[in-house]
A and B are shown apart, each in its own frame.
Chain A
Amino acid sequence: MLTLERVTKRFGGLTAVRDVSLEVREGDLLGIIGPNGAGKTTLFNVISGYYRPDGGRVLLAGRDVGGEPPHVICRLGLTRTFQIVKPFGNLSVLDNVMIGALTRLPRVAAARDEARRVIDSCGLGPYAGARAKALPVGLRKRLEVARALATRPRLLLLDEVMAGLNPTELGGIVELIRRLHAEGLTLIVIEHIMAAMMRLARRIVVLHHGETIAEGRPDEITRDRRVIDAYLGEEFVLAEA
């Protein structure tokens, strides 16, 4: 479904992503982890069209989408969320999600119905009329997911949707992601917190200084020496997972 071939992204003299290759198949739930500054979000920005890759290819369903703008990539079935959530702050939750739904459903009434359905399925039903910027962060993260889902993606990229949440909120969002995956959605999930990721992903890619240093099942990753070194001092986090 999505193939990265030796993708590289440089900013001036800094190589933020170097020769990253990976393969995501239909139905996958791939995790990408790595310490701060490892290049996770940069990689997402390249995949979703915000950055043009300086090297390598991004193939979405066999088509090279490197350099295509984000809205084209969204229409091809790949939607992403943002680590720093970007709600349409002055609009209601319903309108936020509806704007996503309008991408596939040109009729406003149909998009509104679809938005209601998505909002309910994401547990945002009681907040449909609330202004997006009035929501607490946990619900804003949910809104970010709901809005992306409304575009009916085949592949969804989640950028740290669990960061900054309390344990209850965290449990809720993990459950939501599991359900979406069970319903057949393919996902790539970036997370800084390894423990959360260990419970969720089938397969994990570890980035460090822009390079892939490990790839495998969660239990393989936790035993990998290079991963432990990269997360120096965080060995206990791995153990907890």
Chain B
Amino acid sequence: MPALAPGRWVAVALFGIVALVPAGVRDAYLLDSVILILLWGALSAAWNVAGGYAGQVSLGHAAFFGIGAYSAALMTARFQQSPWLGLVLGVVLSIVAGGVIGYLSNRLRGPYFALSTIAFSQVLLIVASRWRGFTAGSEGIPVPFRPGFWTLGLGHVAWVYLALGVAVLYYGVAIWLETSRVGYQLAGVREDEDAAEALGIASRRLKVYAVTLSAAMTSVVGTFWAQYVGFVDPFYVFSIDLSVRFALNTIIGGIGTGLGPFLGSLLITSLETYLRATFSGMKTGFAGIYLVIYGTALILVVRFVPEGLTGLAARLRVRSSRAHA
């Protein structure tokens, strides 16, 4: 068996620690943070399939998140069915929508593609917020809590393991994209589509598959998120903020790497939670200060560590091995 790369060991350690957390921690606030870090990490990992591995930077992935969230919320609140059915419906709808977006990526490149994905998510926002008879419009949908696995009415500990399961699965997808034939071919398409074509790779089809997979993965976590948080608000689930967040977590952690999205989520989610908790008690004038600090931190990372945390780690490792040599 080949030796594991350092990044793999870090992943094993991180996921291992998370698996042990519920054994020692009963604090709901901390468990909530862990669940959110895992869900945001999984969402960023889903985005990374398109944005990192396929090189199709989308700023509209909230569309798929919202599709997953609404499918499950409507399925439970309106039709009294299991959210798991909503999950499946969300995946099916996201595959269709992802196919359309993937097709667009063959027509529009770079910023034009990113803009079209924003437009797509905004269209869904308008539909969800205006179609009052069905979606309850801008009021949003409260998701009923019914205890049980089939209804996804779970306690914090169960949520930790469910979120961990999704995170590990998505990390596995990234590993598959780094080591499989399809993954290498996709890397070729990302680097140069024409050259990949010349080497016998069906570039366009592969790109569509990657974007579609990414969409379906995002939708699944959208469903879980809605069931966990218990409320779906169109202006949140289809927001550009959310799309940007998937991208930023990944870029800060290390785009096109397996571990990057999770490290980015760990850093950003903890930072945000900490800053919000620290400054929310102050006078109203300081209420938004955490956003200023958050924004400053982002600028610093993008300016000084553009390759992300995983890239920084690799750089330091090279430097220390040179120092030892």
Does A74 contact B181, Cβ atoms closer than 8 Å?
no
> What bracket does the count of chain A residues touching chain B fall in?
20 to 34
How far, in whole Å, are A76 and B180 apart by their CA atoms in the complex? 23
Closest 8 CB pairs of A and B: A103-B200, A88-B191, A74-B200, A86-B195, A70-B197, A99-B188, A86-B192, A100-B199
> How far in angstroms is the closest Cβ of chain B from A196?
23
Q: Can you identify 12 A-B contacts, CB atoms within 8 angstroms?
A: A50-B197, A69-B202, A71-B200, A71-B201, A82-B194, A86-B192, A88-B192, A88-B195, A89-B191, A100-B200, A103-B200, A108-B179
Residues of A within 8 A of B197 (CB): 49-50, 69-71, 74
Q: Do A108 and B181 contact each other (CB < 8 Å), given the known contacts A71-B201, A88-B188, A103-B201?
A: yes
Report if A90 contacts B (CB, 8 A): yes
Does B184 contact A98, Cβ atoms closer than 8 Å?
yes
Report if B187 contacts A (CB, 8 A): yes
> How far in angstroms is the closest Cβ of chain B from A102?
5
Report if B196 contacts A (CB, 8 A): yes
Report if A95 contacts B (CB, 8 A): yes
> How far in angstroms is the closest Cβ of chain A from B53?
12
Report if A9 contacts B (CB, 8 A): no
> How far in angstroms is the closest Cβ of chain A from B87?
32
CB proximity to A under 8 Å, residues B187-223: 187-188, 191-192, 194-203
Q: A86-B192, A95-B187 are in contact. List 13 more A-B contacts (CB 8 A).
A: A70-B198, A71-B196, A71-B197, A74-B199, A86-B195, A88-B196, A91-B191, A98-B184, A99-B187, A102-B181, A108-B181, A111-B181, A151-B199
Closest B residue by C-beta to A108: B181
Report if B135 contacts A (CB, 8 A): no
How far, in whole Å, are A74 and B202 apart by their CA atoms in the complex? 10
Does A95 contact B199, Cβ atoms closer than 8 Å?
no
Residues of A within 8 A of B195 (CB): 82, 86-88, 147
How far, in whole Å, are A71 and B197 apart by their CA atoms in the complex? 5
Report if B71 contacts A (CB, 8 A): no
Closest B residue by C-beta to A50: B194
Residues of A within 8 A of B184 (CB): 95, 98-99, 102, 108, 111
How far, in whole Å, are A75 and B202 apart by their CA atoms in the complex? 10
How far, in whole Å, are A50 and B198 apart by their CA atoms in the complex? 9
Report if A148 contacts B (CB, 8 A): yes
> What bracket does the count of chain B residues touching chain A fall in?
10 to 19
Does A79 contact B198, Cβ atoms closer than 8 Å?
yes
Residues of A within 8 A of B187 (CB): 88, 91, 95, 99
Report if A13 contacts B (CB, 8 A): no
User: Contact mask B257-275 → A, CB, 8 Å, 1/0?
Assistant: 0000000000000000000
How far, in whole Å, are A69 and B199 apart by their CA atoms in the complex? 11
Report if A41 contacts B (CB, 8 A): no
Residues of B within 8 A of A50 (CB): 194, 197
> How far in angstroms is the closest Cβ of chain B from A13?
26
CB proximity to B under 8 Å, residues A146-164: 147-148, 150-151
Report if A48 contacts B (CB, 8 A): yes
Report if B227 contacts A (CB, 8 A): no
Residues of B within 8 A of A106 (CB): 181
Report if B58 contacts A (CB, 8 A): no
User: Contact mask A157-184 → B, CB, 8 Å, 1/0?
Assistant: 0000000000000000000000000000
User: Contact mask B173-191 → A, CB, 8 Å, 1/0?
Assistant: 0000001110011011001
Closest A residue by C-beta to B193: A86
Closest B residue by C-beta to A111: B181
Report if A116 contacts B (CB, 8 A): no
Residues of A within 8 A of B199 (CB): 71, 74, 79, 99-100, 103, 147-148, 150-151
Residues of B within 8 A of A75 (CB): 200
Does B196 contact A99, Cβ atoms closer than 8 Å?
yes
How far, in whole Å, are A139 and B201 apart by their CA atoms in the complex? 24
Does A148 contact B191, Cβ atoms closer than 8 Å?
no
How far, in whole Å, are A87 and B181 apart by their CA atoms in the complex? 18
How far, in whole Å, are A214 and B202 apart by their CA atoms in the complex? 37
Residues of B within 8 A of A111 (CB): 181, 184
CB proximity to B under 8 Å, residues A29-61: 48-50
Residues of B within 8 A of A81 (CB): 198
Residues of B within 8 A of A80 (CB): 198
Does B191 contact A90, Cβ atoms closer than 8 Å?
yes
How far, in whole Å, are A82 and B192 apart by their CA atoms in the complex? 12
- Give the one of A69, A102, A107 with max B CB within 10 A: A102
> How far in angstroms is the closest Cβ of chain B from A133?
9
